[in-house]
Structure 1
């Protein structure tokens, strides 16, 4: 199971040309329709959020301790310390609660794809 929350900024910040951006939207749409993948978009309207402090990944593997990878501008850190994992998991749940539901997120990604094709 993969559950991803992406900031709306990644849909509008141009990296490459229009075709590249449209292809990225296609990739997100394809992935978002897989049964084991959930993609949510955190809209600009959410304002300031704990997710602006840096990216992170929470890995939960059956039989192993949960692990977190936290990223900042200068470095990345991996930890399985329960307090750190709990803190990041709480932050993730707060971000996820502010994000658009999957269906609305995929609709927004589709709209952004059309904008990139039209540029």
Structure 2
């Protein structure tokens, strides 16, 4: 019997490869947990690979071919899933975003990537890479702005954002850029596309002093948590770990201002920036 054909990389290769994995696992009579044991990963990790929310890594692909008797199918085709516009530490998280049912994000220092304007994103990337050629910055900005296409859907995903007040006062790109960036966020919130809360300085110490949190849920796969540092990132799928980060987000939400006072505060700061820009 001939083996499966190579997948077309233009046709959502991660989703197609995940579907092939589910088919091969079922044909082999294995549960997700049983296959996970053979790969030394959790059953939920297998479920995420099948749903396309996580990549099939090369070392896993070779083992899958061995366990499932698929020749070299997964080893050949997993390479298509590793082509990405995003840095390696962020690629899995970014590529999972369009599949989400809910997104919850806390940012302590900057506007989340999905909500950044072009001038704001350009200033951020230029700060990260002060000597990069302009074409390289252009590519990074384009990739970041393209991610925001998922907000074109009027209802999905539900996107809940909590910003530390420090985000408002970090002058990324100058007064005009900040005014535009803050107005862009509040505009989305006023149109009921996102839920936006501000964690004020007056809240004092809070549950995520050490960094940002991104929580993702999916209609047909276990939830994920993404934690990011400078040039690094970690995608968590362990249920207890994800639940702990969900509790952290809930504590932040409880400490933050309600949505309407949050918008009023952010809009007032945007007006201050706009007036500053108009000063001679």
Name which structure has the greater RCO, CA cutoff 8 Å, separation 6+.
1
In 2: Cα distance, 1:71 partner to 1:43 partner? 22
Equivalent residues in 2 for 1:14-53, closer than 5 Å: 14-53=171-210
Give 1 or 2: higher helix fraction: 2
Does residue 1:95 correspond to 2:252, yes or no? yes
Residue 34 of structure 1: CA displacement? 2.9
In 2: Cα distance, 1:12 partner to 1:118 partner? 15
Provide the TM-score with structure 2 as the length reference: 0.41
Residue 53 of structure 1: CA displacement? 1.1
The counterpart of 1:63, out of the listed 197, 220, 223, is 220
In 2: Cα distance, 1:6 partner to 1:51 partner? 11
Counterpart contact for 1:42–1:95, Cα < 8 Å: yes
Is there any run of 5+ residues in structure 1 with no aligned partner, and where?
none
Q: How many residues align?
A: 119
SS in 2 for 1:50: coil
In 2: Cα distance, 1:91 partner to 1:105 partner? 19
Give 1 or 2: higher strand fraction: 1
In 1: Cα distance, 2:210 partner to 2:185 partner? 24
Is there any run of 5+ residues in structure 2 with no aligned partner, and where?
1-157
SS in 1 for 2:209: helix
Residue 71 of structure 1: CA displacement? 1.5
SS in 2 for 1:70: strand
Provide the TM-score with structure 1 as the length reference: 0.94
Bigger Cα Rg: 2
Aligned alpha-carbon RMSD (Å)? 1.1
The counterpart of 1:111, out of the listed 250, 256, 268, is 268
